[in-house]
Amino acid sequence: AQKITQTQPGMFVQEKEAVTLDCTYDTSDPSYGLFWYKQPSSGEMIFLIYQGSYDQQNATEGRYSLNFQKARKSANLVISASQLGDSAMYFCAMRGISWDSGGSNYKLTFGKGTLLTVNP
C-alpha cells in the first residue's frame, strides 16, 4: 500500500521569501513517481513538478524545485521568491504500480494537502 503524509496543514510565508512544503511517502514499489499539484481557490488542480524515483538529479521547474531524499522517503517542494499568486493548497502525490492477473495498474495517491498563504 502507498501512503503520502503532509504534516503541515497550513504554512505562511512573506512575499519574495522561499518556503518548503514537506512531503513524506511510504511504498514498497521499487519504481515510483512523485508529483506536486497546486489547487487555487478556483478548484482546478495544476501540475507543478515531477520526480522519478530513479532520477539522479532533483527536479526543477522555474521557481519550483523538489528536494528528493530517497533514503528518508521525502519529497519536499521548495518555492523560491514567493508571490501572492502562490497562495493555494498544495498536494503531494505518488504514482505507484500494482500488478494483478490483468497486468500493471498505475495509481496516484494524494496527501491531505498544505494550505500556503503568502503575505504581502
Partner 1 sequence: ETGVTQTPRHLVMGMTNKKSLKCEQHLGHNAMYWYKQSAKKPLELMFVYNFKEQTENNSVPSRFSPECPNSSHLFLHLHTLQPEDSALYLCASSPEERDSQFFGPGTRLTVL
Which residues contribute to the site for partner 1 (CB under 8 A)? Answer: 4, 33, 35, 37, 42-47, 50, 91, 93, 95, 97, 105-113
CB of 70: closest distance to partner 1 in angstroms? 19
CB of 82: closest distance to partner 1 in angstroms? 23
CB of 50: closest distance to partner 1 in angstroms? 6
For partner 1, the closer of residues 85 and 119 by Cβ is: 85
26 phi, psi to nearest 5 deg: -140, 125
DSSP-assigned beta bridge partners for residue 93: 35, 110
For partner 1, the closer of residues 43 and 120 by Cβ is: 43
Residues 21 and 13: their CA atoms lie apart, in Å, by 11
Query: Helix or strand or coil: residue 38?
Result: strand
Are the C-beta atoms of residues 90 and 64 closer than 8 Å to each other? no
